[in-house]
Amino acid sequence: MPGAAPLFGRLKDAAGETWSAFVAHPFVRSLADGSLPEAAFRHYLIQDYLFLIHFARAYGLAAFKADTLEDIRHAAAGLGAMVGQEMALHVGYCRSWGLDEAQMAAAEEADATMAYTRYVLERGLAGDLLDLAVALAPCIVGYAEIGRQLAADPATKRDGNPYTAWIETYAGDDYQAVARDHIAHMDRLMARRGSPERLPALKVTFRQATRLEAAFWQMGLDAAS
């Protein structure tokens, strides 16, 4: 679709308040001011570990769904980074909160974790690589937007905030580059596989995945109530 606006921007605009409810969720605001209960964050960390395992599976599915070497390499790079780097960073970060990998791996998946991860995998299985990339976008790009906004907000507490490292991780150059790459990847897929007729269904997928992201935040808050 030559000359079209970036796909991510169109999907985000169409999501409207659903996107706002995700990126400005009370869980996120509590990270910013440091008021999030530790029990909520610990539960979130455990479930996020389980989530990342399924996220790695989604990259494997992306390689299977690919029909160009470029797309296979993109999926392989994502899978390698997920398993070899991001999971290791996540485990190390969780260890600082008194959580070891065996404990996290043995945890029971929360309903919100199952709902979101299985939805992403289902969209990839039922659809094509573009459907899967769109389903993954709220997580990949949304975390980058949240990190960037929190880091830039003068109201975000820096000194004595136990969640500063989390904010800095997603605001950092490395993760911001991951998000930009995914946005560009979606545009390449849309140019090859997309059409105006596909856009309504892609908007539904994006909005639903965004709703499930917000539910993932809520799951963390509910654990402390």
C-alpha gyration radius of the chain: 17
Instruction: Report the alpha-carbon distance of residue 153 to residue 12 in Å, rounded.
Output: 21
**Residue 3, pLDDT above cutoff 90:** no
Give the per-residue pLDDT at 4: 61
Instruction: Decide if 201 contacts 8 (C-beta within 8 A).
Output: no
**Residue 1, pLDDT above cutoff 70:** no
Q: How many domains in the chain?
A: 1
CATH of the domain at 115: 1.20.910.10
- Give backbone dihedrals phi and psi of 4, rounded to 5 degrees, phi first: -75, 155
The catalytic residue among 86, 94, 139, 145 is: 139
Domain assignment present for 26? yes
Question: Which residue do the tokens 């500063």 mark?
Answer: 164
Give the per-residue pLDDT at 87: 82
- The mean pLDDT of 30-34, rounded to a whole number, is 97
The catalytic residue among 86, 94, 145, 213 is: 213
pLDDT band at 93 (very low <50, low <70, confident <90, very high): confident
Look up 139 and say whether it is catalytic. yes
Instruction: Indicate the DSSP class of residue 218.
Output: H
**Residue 176, pLDDT above cutoff 60:** yes
Q: Indicate yes or no: pTM above 0.95.
A: no
Residue 146 domain boundaries? 7-223
**Residue 85, pLDDT above cutoff 80:** no
Domain assignment present for 1? no
CA dist 195 → 161, 184, 189, 224 (Å): 46, 17, 11, 45
Give the per-residue pLDDT at 28: 98
**Residue 2, pLDDT above cutoff 60:** no
Domain assignment present for 2? no
DSSP string, 80-140: HHIIIIIHHHHHHHHHTTT--HHHHHTSPPPHHHHHHHHHHHHHHHHS-HHHHHHHHHHHH
Domain assignment present for 132? yes
What percent of the chain clears pLDDT 70, i.e. is strictly above it? 98
Look up 213 and say whether it is catalytic. yes
Domain assignment present for 28? yes
